[in-house]
Amino acid sequence: MPRRPYLEQDRSAPKRRRLPPRASQACHACASSKTRCDNYLTCARCRRRSIPCLRDAHLPDEEDETRDPATGQRAAVSDKIDASLPGTFQGSFDGVFSNQNSTAASNRALDFHAPHPPTQNTTDGLPGPPLVPATWGLDASFDLLNQDGPDGRLEWGDWGLNDHEIDFFSRMELPLLTGAAQAPRYIPTALASSEPSVDGDERTYSLQQAISQSIGQWTPKSGHYRAHAEKDMVSKDLLSLKIDFSGPWDPSISGEPLVPRTRDKLIALVVGSCERSNIGAVVSAFPTVDALECLINIALTQQKGDLDGYIHVPTFSKSESRVETIAAMVITGTSRSSHKAVQKFGYGLGEILSYYLYSRAEREYSLTRDLQYLQAFCLSLSDGLWSGFNNKMELAKSVSGVLINMLRVGGRFRRNAYSSIAPISTDVGDILDKKWRAWVEQESFKRLVYHIHIHCVQESFMASTAGSQLSPSELTLPLPESRELWLAPSAIHWKQAFVQLQVSAQGKVPSIIECIANPSTTRLFPQTCDRGFASQVQVYAIASLVRAFKHTQALFATNDPDLNRSALIADESQERRLEQVIQALGVGYNTGGSEEIAAWNLLRELTSMHLYISFNQLELFAGQEGPDEAQAVYPTLHTWFQSESSRHAVWHAGQVFRHMRAIPVGALHIFHALACYHASLCLCIYGIISKRSTSQAKSSAPTSTETSVLLVDGEETLSTRRWIQLGSGTPVISTSPTSSDMSAQSEETTALSSATIIMNAAIEVIRKKFRELLDIEPRLVGNICRLMQSIGNMDQTGSFGSRDASQ
Tell me the three-class secondary structure of 639-704, residue by residue: HHHCCHHHHHHHHHHHHHHHHHHHCCHHHCCHHHHHHHHHHHHHHHHHHHHHHHHHHHHHHHCCCC
Q: Cα-flanking dihedrals φ and ψ of residue 28, to 5°?
A: -65, -40
Predicted confidence (pLDDT) per residue in 480-531, tens digit: 999 999 999 999 999 999 888 876 545 578 899 988 888 776 666 777 889 8
pLDDT digits (tens, 9 = 90+) for 9-66: 444 444 444 444 444 467 877 877 777 787 566 787 887 776 777 776 443 333 343 3
The span from the CA of 37 to the CA of 43, in Å, is 6
Handedness of CA 135, 140, 145, 149 (dihedral sign): negative
- 706 burial via Cβ count (<10 Å: 0-12, 13-18, 19+): exposed
**Element housing 342 (H / E):** helix 340-363
Beta pairing class for 186-190 and 53-56? antiparallel
- Residue 242 to residues 217, 228, 247, 427, 658: CA-CA distances in angstroms? 39, 27, 11, 45, 38
The pLDDT of residue 461: 93
Q: What is the pLDDT of residue 81?
A: 37
Q: Are 673 and 771 in contact (CB under 8 A)?
A: no
- The C-alpha atoms of residue 733 and residue 728 are separated, in whole angstroms, by 16
The answer to whether the bond into 664 is cis (omega within 30° of 0) is no
Domain ranges of the chain: 6-226, 234-410, 418-592, 618-648+662-797
Residue 280 confidence (pLDDT): 80
pTM of structure: 0.73
- pLDDT for the residue 188: 32
- Phi/psi of residue 279, nearest 5 degrees: -60, -50
Residue (of 47, 18, 14, 13) closest to 30 by Cα position: 47
Cα–Cα distance list, 537 to 165, 328, 375, 454, 479 (Å): 45, 24, 19, 7, 9
Q: Which residues of the chain have pLDDT under 50?
A: 1-24, 57-202, 204-205, 244-246, 505, 703-704, 740, 742, 744-745, 803-807
Task: Return the pLDDT at 353.
Answer: 93
Distance between CA atoms of residues 150 and 793, nearest Å: 33
User: For 395-411, b where at least 16 C-beta lie within 10 A, e where not — what string?
Assistant: bbbebbeebbebbeeee
